Amino acid sequence: MDWIAVVDDEEYNRKTVTRILKKNDYIVTALESGRELLDFLYVKGSRPDLILLDIMMPEMDGFEVMKRLQESGKPSERIPIIFLTGDSDDETEMKGLQMGAEDFIRKPIFPDVLLHRIRRIIELDRTHKSLAQQIEARASELESLSRHVVQTLAAAIDAKDTYTNGHSDRVASYSREIAKRYGYSEKEQVDIYMMGLLHDVGKIGIPDEIINKPGRLTDSEFATIKTHPEVGDRILKKVKEMPKLSVGARWHHERYDGKGYPDGLSGEDILEEARIIAVADAYDAMTSHRSYRDILPQEVVRGEIEKGKGTQFDPAFADILLQMIDEDKDYTMHEN
């Protein structure tokens, strides 16, 4: 059975509408003021299927009540509202519709009109909510698929480099944790994780013999390595569904002092997500095995991050990483 809240300061109107609705198998809660309705919804936590709301009421009229409902409630908790009014002014009706009312019913109340409009609006509201749930579920499926594709691609990138197994996932995880501590929303944390996973995607275009060379790179070979941010940027800019995905790929080798590459950006001219990924990437490079060395001791890594504050790294994000290092008493935050 559908549940209707009837809000009207006049007892006769409340009783008339309540009698019509109950006769047609609706559950009815009758309230005599906007204040009672707000308490009914937000103090008692009641969730009727529809609200019949009078406009002309003392203390708080129907428009003010609706404004407070919109300010207090989440969109997903929205309850359809039909205004009840004895006012025949078209401007009053237009104002209510512009505020988001589903319909207007003029007094005196005609039972057939009242029942028809209530049924129609409740059915429409349920249809809209059902469609919204289906869309949300579909979006969640697509997001899960996107993450899987990105993770697979990141694993393929790491596989090119004998010495960076799991590097992309670790950089993504460190970046997400730094972003979380800095105050990023859950959605923003997911976004930077995806950027971190693909920050080295441009290495797809670098020959394996250069990536896996055990000795010192020649100037020519290093110049080739330095092209991977631009290659990654070109690849990821084609993903129109995630316009910021290329941020980490292009700018994770920029330095806070402007001495990085490929664009020589400095300070806050480097997008924030790239500044986060840069410090996470440097940390993982020092805490991973290389052909020419083992994982560096934690105190050495900490010293390098401290030394790079304000030159290589954004001081704010370097400080967050230093806090993470200090909390890692057993030094577990490194390549396994």
**What's the fold here for domain 3-132?**
Rossmann fold (3.40.50)
In tens, the pLDDT along 162-187 reads: 666 789 889 999 999 999 999 999 98
The pLDDT assigned to 73 comes to 63
The pLDDT assigned to 138 comes to 62
Task: Please identify which of the residues 67, 180, 203, 213 carries the catalytic annotation.
Answer: 203
The pLDDT assigned to 215 comes to 76
294: Cβ contacts below 8 Å, ≥ 6 apart: none
The span from the CA of 241 to the CA of 245, in Å, is 9
The span from the CA of 143 to the CA of 121, in Å, is 32
Q: Locate the domains of the chain by residue range.
A: 3-132, 162-327
The secondary structure of residue 73, as a DSSP letter, is S
* Band (304; pLDDT cuts 50, 70, 90): very high
pLDDT at 37 over 80: yes
Q: How far is CA 50 from CA 46, 101, 105, 125, in A?
A: 11, 11, 14, 9
The pLDDT assigned to 153 comes to 73
pLDDT at 289 over 90: no
* Band (228; pLDDT cuts 50, 70, 90): very high
In tens, the pLDDT along 93-149 reads: 788 888 888 888 888 889 999 999 999 999 888 887 777 677 566 656 556 656 666
Residue 203 designated active-site: yes
Judge whether 3-132 and 162-327 match in fold.
Answer: no
The pLDDT assigned to 142 comes to 52
How much is the average pLDDT of 32-45?
A: 91
**What's the fold here for domain 162-327?**
Hypothetical protein af1432 (1.10.3210)
The secondary structure of residue 218, as a DSSP letter, is P
The torsion angles phi and psi of 290, rounded to 5 degrees, stand at -130, 165
The span from the CA of 250 to the CA of 267, in Å, is 16
Instruction: Please tell me the pTM assigned to this model.
Output: 0.59
The span from the CA of 277 to the CA of 58, in Å, is 58
Share of the chain above pLDDT 70, in %: 91
